[in-house]
Amino acid sequence: MNKNGIILGVVIALLVAGSVFAYQQLFAGPQSVHEHMCMYDDCGWKGRVTMVKGPYPPKCPDCGRQSVLTPSTCKQCGHQQLLNEEIRNFSGFEGTPSYTKCHECGGRIVHGD
Ligand SMILES: [Zn+2]
Ligand SMILES: [Zn+2]
């Protein structure tokens, strides 16, 4: 194989690797889909936003406040919910307990779940 052949081979290998990666991204199971949520209960927006550079958290498409956070998943039942510690950090709700209790099963949800 000459030099051009080797380069062509590398390019093809990269293209194949790239399309496998893209395929996995497109057809990944529902467990890898992370919805975002508005942290305000009176809004209750859920959906997906494109995270762009700028102030964090991003603006809620529904109520317009800077309140879109990524929920964590309960290990026990799979329910997705925002962590109280994040809500406290960004909203200044002082009455929010730091302990996050799952709304579905009552178990504790911790960061990184
Ligand atoms: Zn909202
Ligand atoms: Zn749960």
Per-residue DSSP letters for the chain? Answer: --HHHHHHHHHHHHHHHHHHHHHHHHS--GGG---EEES-TTT--EE-----SSSSSPBPTTT-SB-EEPPEE-TTT--EE--HHHHHHHH--TTS-SS-B-TTT--B--TT-
The residue extents of the domains of the chain are 1-30, 34-113
Q: What is the pLDDT of residue 77?
A: 96
Higher pLDDT, 94 or 1: 94
Mean pLDDT value of segment 103-111: 92
CA 107 to centroid of ligand 2, rounded, Å: 5
Phi and psi of 37, rounded to 5°?
Answer: -140, 150
Considering the entire predicted model, what is its pTM?
Answer: 0.65
Query: 24-81 pLDDT, tens per residue?
Result: 766 654 444 558 999 998 999 999 888 778 888 999 999 999 999 999 999 999 999 9
Span from the CA of 102 to the centroid of ligand 2 (angstroms): 5
C-alpha of residue 43 to centroid of ligand 2, in Å: 22
| pLDDT for position 94 | 76
